[in-house]
Each structure stands twice: as C-alpha cells, then as structure tokens.
Amino acid sequence: MEHNEQPTTYPTPYECQNSLGAIRDALFVIGGKWKLQVISAIGQGHNRFNELQRALTGISARVLSAELKDLELNGFVTRKADPNSPVNVEYGLTDYVHTLYDVLRSLTEWGEMHGKKIRGKD
C-alpha cells in the first residue's frame, strides 16, 4: 500500500458525505464500458474512426459510432469532417476533457496497480 500517500483513516464521512449523488452523476455521463476508453484512445492520438476501432479492441462500429455521438453531445469530443473529402473525419478532445484528467489518471494508476496485483506480478 506504499504506492502513494494515503490518509490513514478510511475514506469516511468527511470526503464522502455528498459523494453518492456526485458519483451517480459522474457515472451517468462517463460510466459504461467504453466512454473513458474512447476518450483515452483519442487522447493517445487515435483520431480516425477505424483507427479508434482498432485501438479499442473488441468494440464494434455500431457501438463506437454511438459512443462518439454521445461523447460529442456531452461536449467531450469534437468531430471534424473534411468538407472536400467526406471519408476524412477527425475526432478530437475538447477542453472539457481537461477536467477529467484527474479521474483518468487515478483510474489508470489504480488499474495498473490492481492488474499487477491480480496477475501476481507484485
């Protein structure tokens, strides 16, 4: 548990008091299997549709399309279609994704840590 500075008490009332509603709100927008992965993948520089589909192993075109639309609607993702060439579309992240930075970082760190632990590589 030395992986970084943690408070020595449980995450009890003080920090959590109103967290139920907040967590609910957050999960409503960025919950689900793909939302954060799509954001992360675009952040990694995959900004074409098929590129994203390849990066996100397992996602279908239908679902990716839906996720992108949803993320665009919620102001996380931009879609720029080259007017000259309709088969040239670029996805990007908006500034609002900045606000998710901490969530993305902590979740990634935890996932890495947990993954190692589960696979016994500790």
Residues that bind its own copies (CB under 8 A): 1, 3-4, 6-7, 10-13, 15-27, 29, 31-33, 36-37, 40-41, 43-45, 55-56, 93, 95-115, 118
Q: How far is CA 7 from CA 2, 33, 56, 96, 107, in A?
A: 12, 30, 35, 29, 18
Q: Smallest gap, in angstroms, from Cβ of residue 106 to DNA?
A: 20
Q: Which amino acid is at 7?
A: P
Looking up tokens 């996602």 gives 59
Q: Which two tokens stand for residue 119?
A: 């696979």
Task: Between 69 and 105, name the residue whose CB sits nearer to its own copies.
Answer: 105
Interacting partner of 49 out of DNA, its own copies, none (Cβ under 5 to 8 A depending on kind): DNA
Task: Between 86 and 120, name the residue whose CB sits nearer to DNA.
Answer: 86
- The answer to whether 91 and 47 have CB atoms below 8 angstroms apart is yes
Q: Which two tokens stand for residue 100?
A: 């998710």
Task: Between 37 and 89, name the residue whose CB sits nearer to its own copies.
Answer: 37
